[in-house]
A and B are shown apart, each in its own frame.
Chain A
Amino acid sequence: MQNETGLFNAFIGHLFPRMVRRENLRITYTFCLGGLAFTTFMVLIASGLLLLFYYQPSSEHAFESILFLESSVPGGLFVRSIHRLASNAFLLLIFLHTLRVILTGAYRKPRELNWVVGFFILCLSLFEAYTGYLLPMDQLALWATQTGMELIKTLPAGEAVVKILAPDGVGQPISLLRFYVLHAVIIPVAVLLLSFLHFYRIRQNKEVLPYL
C-alpha cells in the first residue's frame, strides 16, 4: 500500500505526461479545448492577481477604484480588458469542451468520475463568472446580480443561499465582500484543485480511449 507522500508524488507525477502518443496529438482529436480553457484560466489568474493590487471591495470605493485603474494606471485598462475577455473565452471554451466530450462519448466508462469532476468545474466556473460580475459595482453589475439573486430564490433552498451570499442585500458591504472573497480566493482555488484531479484522471485513463 502507498503511504501518504507516495500518493502525493504519484499525483504530481500524473499531472504531467511522461510520454505522449503521436496520434493523440492530432488537433481534431480533442481540438485541445480543455487545454485552451485551462490556458485562459491561467491568464485569468495572472490578470486577476494584477487587478487585486488596485481593486477595493467596498460599496463606496469599488467603482471609483475601477475608474482609477482605467484612467491613472499604465496598462490598467489593458489588464482589466484582458481579464474580461479571457473570462468570456474561458466559459466559451469550457462549454465547447463539454460539447466535444458529449459528442465523442468520452464521458463513458471508465471516465465517469472525470465527467463528474468536469461538470463541477463547469458549474464553479459559471459561479465564478457570476461573482465577478458584481465587483465593478456599476449599474449593469448591480442589476444583473440582483436579477440573478431572484433567479436563485426560485431554486430549492434558494432563499438560504441568497441569505448567505447577500445577507444585507446585493451591493451592500457584506455581500460585496463575500462576492469578492468567493471570486478571488475560494472558487479559483477550488477550480484549480479540481482541474488537477481532472488531469490526474486523464493520465490514469490514458490507455482507454473509447472514441478512437
Chain B
Amino acid sequence: MKSLFVALACALPLSTFAAADVTALLKAADRYRTGDESQQVETEVTVLKRDGSTDKERRYTVFVQPQRRSLVLMRSPAEAGQKVLMLGDDFWLLLPGSQRPLRITPTQKLLGDASTGDIATMSWADDYTGTLAGEEACPGAEATRCLHLSLQAMHKAASYQRIELWLGQARHEPVAADLYVQSDKLAKQARFVVDKPGAPTRVDEMLLLDQLSTHKATRVRYVSRRPKQVPETWLNPMFLARNPAIE
C-alpha cells in the first residue's frame, strides 16, 4: 500500500507536467538548436565509416523561417547548385541546369544518411506534441538525470512520426533522441553535443546513428548561426528554379 502511494505520488506531478509544459520544454530545447526564429545556419555533415574515418562530407546553408518553412542550399561540389525547399508539408527539389522544381514526397525527403529533414528541421515545438514519460538517467551518461519525452508528430510530413527525446533535467538542453519512421521502426538514434556541458547555450553537433539500413554514423555540425529573414520570393519554388544569385 505504501509503495502504491509512492508510485501515485510520483506519477501525479509527471502527468500534470506532461499536459501543461511539454510544449514549453520543447521550445526550451529548440532554443539550443535554432536561437532566433528566422536564421541562417551553415551546416557541415560528415558521414563516418565503421572505423570512424570519414566516408564523405557535405556542406549546407539552411535558411530556417517561421511557419515551418526552410530552404536548404547544397554547397559541396558533388551537389553544388541543388536546393530543397520545405514549406510546411510540401517539398521541392531543384537541380542546377534543370530550371524546373521537382515535387518530392515526404518519403523522399527522409532518405539519406542525414536526410534533408534532419538538416532543415530545427524545431520540435512546431511539429510534435507529447507527454513526459519520466525522469531517468540520460542515455550514454548514466550519472546525469534527464527528462524523457514521448513525442508524436502533429503533421503527416514531419520527418519522424515518433520521437523519444531526452532533455537535460536542469537546463532542458537536448541530450539524445530515438527517431521512429511511420512504420514505427527505429530509424536513427541522435546524440547532441553542446558547447559547454556545464552551462550549455547551444547545440554544436548532432550525431546520427542509422538503425535501418547502413548503420553508419553521421555527424551534423552547426558551423555558424545568424539571424536572417529571407525575402518571400526565395520561398517560391518557381523563383528558385531560376537559379537566382542567393548568397
B partners with A: no
Residues of B whose CB lies within 8 Å of any CB of A are none
Residues of A whose CB lies within 8 Å of any CB of B are none
